[in-house]
Amino acid sequence: MAHGDPRRRKDATAASMLEALFTQSPVGLHLLDTDLRVVRVNTATPAMRGMPLDDVQGRPARDVYDMVEDADVEALLRGVLDTGVPLLQHIVRARVRADPSRERYFEVSALRLEAGAEPTSPGRPVLGVAVTSVDVTERERARARTEVLDALRRNVGRSLDPAVTGEELVATVVPGFADVAIVEVVEAVIRGDDPPLAPLPTGTPVMRTAFRGGRTGHPQAHAVGDVRRLPAPTPVTQALADLRPRVVPLDPAVPWLSVDPPAAEAIRAAEAHSLLVVPLALRGAVLGVVTLYRTGPSLPFDASDGEFAVELATHAALCLDNARRYEREHTVAATVQRRLLPRHPEARASLETAYLSVTGADPGAWYDTIALSGARTALVVGTVSGGGLNAAAVMGQLRTAVRSLAAFDLAPDELLARLHDTAGELAAERAALPLGDPLHRETLAADCVYAIHDPLTGTCAMAAAGRLAPLVVRPDRTVTVPGAPAGPRLGTPEGAPFAAVDVEVPDGSVLVFTSDPLLTAYLAESSGPLSSAPDYRDRPLRDLCDALVYAIPAGLGIGDAAVIVARTAAFPPDMFAAWPIDPVPAAVAVARRRTREQLAKWGVDDETSFDTQVIVSELVTNAVRYGSPPLELRLIRDRTLTCEMRDAGSAAPHLRHAATVDEGGRGLFISAQLSRTWGTRYTDSGKTIWTEQALSIAATDQHPGSAPTPA
């Protein structure tokens, strides 16, 4: 028999192999006829185990196999019958009789069966189709988890906002891993505070920051944004006590549902059957919790899902903690900025100003208005590179330096040159930090625009460092950018000189200074909000600021910006007086008399009037002796009483402490003692020595127009 007919021996071997495949192979094997009815199946596979062959033989395949999706499988098999092209490794979802509650993934391949001994024989009759199926449920679940994890690493943590981090997380896990996902974060973490240590103290407020359901209309027990205290005991509070995940089958009879009726109702309405709770924790501290549900036909969570969820939550907790740290630093930096910036602009009779923050507070941006002598006002806007507390600290240093330099009555270009030196020293100190210090790698640079408005001449002198530029809107709504060339950024090695430009600003003009060049460029457009805003002269300045904000398009890409909006007004002519002084000793007595008469018209009290006359005597005497003609004396009554003595000389005066036997040399010393402050201001045509005195309430309250204009 061993040496019998080879053909018969080959047929016997093939029959034995087929019998083994249909009774012992773990790979599912299904023979279907041309009507896709079951001819034979492998009953040894787990999917068909316990199923009598008579129950399936002769029945249509669609009645035997419970397909969850891919309803076109029958059409694919008919395509194999019609074309002979094999179907290879097609993934389908189905339920099996051994465990009808669980969906499983099968990898299906199908081949057409034809009669005839030679495969290449044409016109062979088609007998049916052979279908193989392999259970790849675990492989597909692992692949799905890998996709979710990859998406998590790509998408979660892109924002440094704790609430947005939660939204990114739920969008990643639904529907790939769960049907419903909820993120709740400890409220203190939202504010940037340190998270509490586990176990989470009873009554700790938590905020629901994100919710995502796999289908529209999934019920919510609590709305996103709600702050509440977690009811206990529940799987959520237990997970936040020991920082371990909980996989919980859901059943209406579960006792813990009674302590949280809104959650119980939402679970029932969503037909949720499986719950997975995983804490958001880091180094033993509780940041929040993620609650996941599976509903309807989805597979329930198991222990491996819990382990995978811990991996997801660990990454999310790191992102959430980064957002918390940023929020804390941003809060501290914003607090420092608020303390360093002026609360309200200084009131001036000839310049109305308002501060404005657009889209938030950049810690490195600052604005300031500084009262100068002669009723003038300095306007400053700047921004420091970088962010956070370091930018706020440098901003405070530069703002203080600007105020200190402004006290010397420097011209805008000279002030920026000295500020550039100060910023360079700060940059050198930063560069000298240890290499391991993160600040060592951050370049210190700042942009600044500095302007001085003089209401008596109706001009504004301005200079810029870096990319910032002011805008001037004239009463006819013409928007111009002064043509002063921008100097180098503060703190950079560049040493190009700064240049100032004088711009005429008639009564009713509006000046706009911003710390964002993009915003300046938009406002400078001919069709922008500045050119179309009505009623520049009479409209409240705060309303004008609001109109500018409303007109900025949302998609313009403007970052945080500090803005000053100022409107000029003519200086009241009855609030100042000016007289030419003859360069002779007799001019001193004339100046005292005119001063006394003018102060009487302004209602200045006798004591202040006497002190002012003494100051005028000393200033005029010094100018006659040491100054160069022409000479001019000016009195200005604004918030203070200012005396100015002008001459064409450039010799710098200095305060002397004369000896007891000296007959002179006390003039400037006496003036300094009688005034609140004094100084010297240099111009191209000479210098001005000035003093300021405080005015009594009666004098400042008197209506400026009650006194006649001096001749």
DSSP string over 317-358? HHHHHHHHHHHHHHHHHHHHHHHHS-SSPPP-SSEEEEEEEE
Between 402 and 436, residue with greater pLDDT: 402
Q: What's the mean pLDDT in 683-709?
A: 67
Pick from 21-30, 438-447, 671-680: least confident:
21-30
User: What pLDDT, on the 0 to 100 scale, is given for residue 706?
Assistant: 38
Cα 121 from Cα 124, distance rounded (Å): 6
Cα 405 from Cα 4, distance rounded (Å): 116
User: What pLDDT, on the 0 to 100 scale, is given for residue 232?
Assistant: 85
Pick from 544-558, 633-647, 671-685: least confident:
544-558
- Residue 195: is its pLDDT beyond 60? yes
Q: What is the CATH number of domain 345-568?
A: 3.60.40.10
Cα 166 from Cα 159, distance rounded (Å): 10
Band (pLDDT 50/70/90 cuts) for residue 662 is very low
How distant, in Å, are the alpha carbons of 135, 464, 473, 563, 574 from that of 469? 69, 6, 13, 12, 34
Taking the C-alpha atoms of 229, 317, 265 and 212 in order, what is their torsion angle to the nearest 10 degrees? 130
User: The CATH number of 573-706 is which of 3.30.565.10, 3.40.50.300, 3.30.420.40, 3.90.105.10?
Assistant: 3.30.565.10
Band (pLDDT 50/70/90 cuts) for residue 46 is low
Compute the mean pLDDT over every residue in the chain, rounded to the nearest whole number. 82
* Adjacent-strand bridge partners of 264: none
Cα 404 from Cα 370, distance rounded (Å): 10
User: 6-135 domain in CATH 1.10.10.10?
Assistant: no
Band (pLDDT 50/70/90 cuts) for residue 659 is very low
Work out the angle between the directed axes of helices 137-155 and 303-340 (0-180°, nearest 10).
Answer: 0
What is the SS3 assignment for 576-638? EEEEEECCCCCHHHHHHHHHHHHHHHCCCCHHHHHHHHHHHHHHHHHHHHHCCCCEEEEEEEC
Residues 6+ apart with CB under 8 A from 90: 70, 73, 76, 107, 108, 109
Pick the most confident of 352-356, 361-365, 491-495, 534-538: 352-356
Q: What is the helix (H) or strand (E) element at residue 73, kind and residue range?
A: helix 73-83
Q: What is the helix (H) or strand (E) element at residue 12, kind and residue range?
A: helix 6-23
Q: Reduced to 3 DSSP states, what percent helix, strand and coil does the chain have, rounded to the nearest 5?
A: 35, 30, 35
DSSP string over 126-167? EEEEEEEEEE-HHHHHHHHHHHHHHHHHHHTTSSS-HHHHHH
What is the third-level CATH fold of 141-330?
Answer: Beta-Lactamase (3.30.450)
CB atoms within 10 A of CB 116: 12
Instruction: For 74-116, write each residue's pLDDT tens digit.
Output: 788 888 888 888 888 787 777 665 555 567 778 888 888 887 6
**Long-range contacts (CB closer than 8 Å, 24 or more residues apart) made by 73-80:** 73/108, 74/36, 76/110, 77/32, 77/36, 77/110, 77/129, 77/131, 78/36, 80/110, 80/111, 80/112, 80/129
Between 387 and 233, residue with greater pLDDT: 233
**CB 124 within 8 Å of CB 114:** yes
**CB 214 within 8 Å of CB 180:** yes
- Closest to 229 in 3D by CA, of 184, 270, 164, 294: 184
Q: What is the helix (H) or strand (E) element at residue 74, kind and residue range?
A: helix 73-83
Instruction: For 124-181, write each residue's pLDDT tens digit.
Output: 788 888 888 877 777 777 787 788 888 888 888 788 888 888 999 999 988 888 899 9
Query: Can 6-135 and 345-568 be said to share one CATH topology?
Result: no
User: What pLDDT, on the 0 to 100 scale, is given for residue 658?
Assistant: 43
Read off the tokens for 468.
């910032």
User: What pLDDT, on the 0 to 100 scale, is given for residue 641?
Assistant: 93
**CB 143 within 8 Å of CB 107:** no
Residues 6+ apart with CB under 8 A from 196: 186, 188, 204, 285, 286
Band (pLDDT 50/70/90 cuts) for residue 709 is very low
- Residue 71: is its pLDDT beyond 80? no
**CB 545 within 8 Å of CB 510:** no
Instruction: For 225-256, write each residue's pLDDT tens digit.
Output: 899 999 889 999 999 999 999 999 988 777 88
**CB 666 within 8 Å of CB 650:** no
Q: What's the mean pLDDT in 513-531?
A: 79
**CB 126 within 8 Å of CB 113:** yes
Instruction: For 456-486, write each residue's pLDDT tens digit.
Output: 999 999 999 998 889 898 888 788 888 777 8
Q: What's the mean pLDDT in 436-461?
A: 88
- Residue 328: is its pLDDT beyond 90? no
Cα 539 from Cα 683, distance rounded (Å): 35
Cα 207 from Cα 657, distance rounded (Å): 69
Q: Where are the beta strands (DSSP E) in 60-202?
A: 66-67, 87-96, 99-114, 126-135, 180-186
**For the chain, domain boundaries:** 6-135, 141-330, 345-568, 573-706
Q: What's the mean pLDDT in 554-566?
A: 78
Cα 509 from Cα 477, distance rounded (Å): 9
- Residue 707: is its pLDDT beyond 60? no
pTM over 0.85: no
